[in-house]
A and B are shown apart, each in its own frame.
Chain A
Amino acid sequence: MTTYELHYFNAAGRGDMSRLLLDFAGASYKNVLVQNADWGTKKDTTPFGKVPVLVIKEADGSTKELAESAAIEAYLAEVLGLVPGSSPFERAEALSVVSAFLDLEDKLRTASTGTTSEERKTAHEKALAETIPMYLKYQERFVRGSYYFGDKVTYADLKLYQIALKLEEMYGDSSPLKTKAADFPKLTKIVETLAAGKAGDYTKNHRIIGVLKWFKDEWKWGFAA
């Protein structure tokens, strides 16, 4: 049986989605948490000086590693059966949904780059009022069934769920998935269905929040003391 190690910081961040996929699929995996103090020595052992890194241990004892969260997630989705089908086009369509969400996450990161909390607040309020609802509007339109791609959960649905968790952590009841739930009935239903099942179990029992927290009065992520 293939076993996996997900190497990442003691935080949700860019490791959360991979952990969710592994957990949801019932894969045999463990988290290898990189402490900040150890990062200096570990960094150059990784392919691009970054984490997450996925270490794959095959049944025959061979190991291989993969870097870059987007590549790790697409790979895990494929090998864990969380894609709409086996053809390149079907896998690419699922990736396009996820990629649009990654773009949204980038916009939210940018909103926290202002040097004062006033600037960051203004940027996030714009995100809440305009950017996030605009991205969600297109996502709502894309959904093709009970899930993004019909009757089967794929990593597109799990990405939506992970985004919902992040928006909840950042904005609480101001998350547009809550304030504008009536505009996003299909997305809301996917999130609720996943929350009631294995994805919800992951969140309650296995999700790592660790040391990276959202500081809501500062409108940015930071390390909790």
Chain B
Amino acid sequence: MVSLSLSYEVHYFESAGRADLPRMMLDVAGAPYKNVFIDFAKWSEVKDTMAFGKVPKLVVSESDGSRKELFETNAIVNYLAEVLGLAPDGGAFARAKAASITSNLCDLEDKLRRTYGLPSVEERHKAHEKHIAETIPTYLKYHERLVEGDFYFGDKVTVADLKLHQMYCLFDDMYAARNPFKTHAAEFTNLNRIIATLAAGPAGEYARNRRDFGRLKWVAERWEWVFDGRSLDES
């Protein structure tokens, strides 16, 4: 049961990026939260206020007014999984199994991120074609066989399912109809069932209405992300 004496802030840029999954988790769990958007132009002023010089930052506010801060996406996601009831039942080991799933999907996401900063359209195009044809399906093949029911962990939606959904949305952004979940639908029936169920519920509603702020866009013909019309320098 989500504690309503707690409220959360997600501090990040006005884009999905590394805040997408934390926002999705808070949204799906019905936890009171707000986005605090960081103006990218002012980043150098706020960077040093972050424990490790990076965002996202999660602020947890208690009803007595006290606040605590948590950094690093991985730590934020694992923390929210536990406190929002989005971890599988079974204590430390069960939480670790969920963490292994999210960690492996983050590994895949990191491979994609390394492509973003490649300097030419040709290089980015070639790298993304390899992701679509090989890398993503290879990772997803292992996940397909891990699913133990309607969701990764049986009947209960957990952070593992939401991470999968976040990745699905990312692939939709970049690859549209060539999203490997779709082109390999026959091979990934368990994974697509999870996606379809989530899309029909609160996670889908979050993704359609609160995930995209209109500033970060994928430019398909250039195989790159642009923020307010300018190419990103991956840092």
Give chain A's interface residues, CB within 8 Å of chain B.
47-50, 56, 64, 66-72, 74-75, 78-79, 88-89, 91-93, 95-96, 99-100, 102-103, 106, 110, 134-135, 138-139, 141-142
Once A49-B142, A66-B93, A99-B72 are accepted as A-B contacts, the answer to whether A88 and B79 lie under 8 Å apart by CB is: yes
List the B side residues contacting A142 at CB < 8 Å: 51-52
List the B side residues contacting A67 at CB < 8 Å: 100, 104
Choose from B54, B70, B72 the contact partner of A89 (Cβ within 8 Å).
B70
Q: Can you list 8 A-B contacts with CB-CB less than 8 angstroms, sorted by A residue number?
A: A47-B146, A66-B100, A69-B103, A71-B100, A88-B82, A92-B70, A102-B74, A103-B52
A-contact 0/1 string along B87-104, CB 8 Å cutoff: 000001101110110011
The reply to whether A71 and B114 form a contact with Cβ atoms under 8 Å apart is: no
Min CB gap A199→B, angstroms: 23
Once A88-B82, A88-B83, A89-B68 are accepted as A-B contacts, the answer to whether A96 and B51 lie under 8 Å apart by CB is: yes
List the B side residues contacting A93 at CB < 8 Å: 70, 75
Closest to B146 in A: A47
Give chain B's interface residues, CB within 8 Å of chain A.
51-54, 60, 68, 70-76, 78-79, 82-83, 92-93, 95-97, 99-100, 103-104, 107, 110, 114, 138-139, 142-143, 146
Choose from A68, A79, A89 the contact partner of B92 (Cβ within 8 Å).
A79
Choose from B53, B54, B96 the contact partner of A71 (Cβ within 8 Å).
B96
> How far is A71 from B75 in the complex, measured between Cα atoms in Å?
11
The reply to whether B142 and A134 form a contact with Cβ atoms under 8 Å apart is: no
List the A side residues contacting B73 at CB < 8 Å: 99
Min CB gap B53→A, angstroms: 5
Min CB gap A62→B, angstroms: 11
Chain A interface mostly helix, strand, loop or mixed? Answer: helix
Given contacts A70-B74, A92-B76, 20 further A-B contacts (CB under 8 A): A48-B143, A66-B96, A66-B100, A68-B107, A70-B99, A71-B97, A75-B95, A78-B92, A89-B70, A96-B51, A96-B71, A99-B73, A100-B52, A100-B54, A100-B72, A103-B72, A138-B51, A138-B53, A141-B51, A142-B51
Chain B interface mostly helix, strand, loop or mixed? Answer: helix
Choose from B74, B96, B110 the contact partner of A75 (Cβ within 8 Å).
B96
List the A side residues contacting B95 at CB < 8 Å: 75
| Residue with the highest number of chain A CB atoms closer than 10 Å, among B75, B76, B78, B93 | B75
Min CB gap B167→A, angstroms: 14
Closest to B73 in A: A99
List the B side residues contacting A70 at CB < 8 Å: 74, 99, 103
Choose from B82, B96, B142 the contact partner of A48 (Cβ within 8 Å).
B142
List the B side residues contacting A96 at CB < 8 Å: 51-52, 70-72, 74-76
Min CB gap B109→A, angstroms: 12
The reply to whether B103 and A71 form a contact with Cβ atoms under 8 Å apart is: yes
> How far is A141 from B98 in the complex, measured between Cα atoms in Å?
31
Choose from A64, A74, A89 the contact partner of B99 (Cβ within 8 Å).
A74
> How far is A87 from B86 in the complex, measured between Cα atoms in Å?
16
Min CB gap B60→A, angstroms: 7
Would you list the 9 A-B pairs with minimal beta carbon distance, nearest first?
Answer: A92-B79, A75-B96, A96-B75, A99-B72, A71-B100, A68-B100, A71-B99, A96-B72, A68-B103
> How far is A74 from B107 in the complex, measured between Cα atoms in Å?
16
Once A47-B146, A78-B92, A79-B92 are accepted as A-B contacts, the answer to whether A68 and B99 lie under 8 Å apart by CB is: yes
List the B side residues contacting A50 at CB < 8 Å: 104
Closest to A100 in B: B52
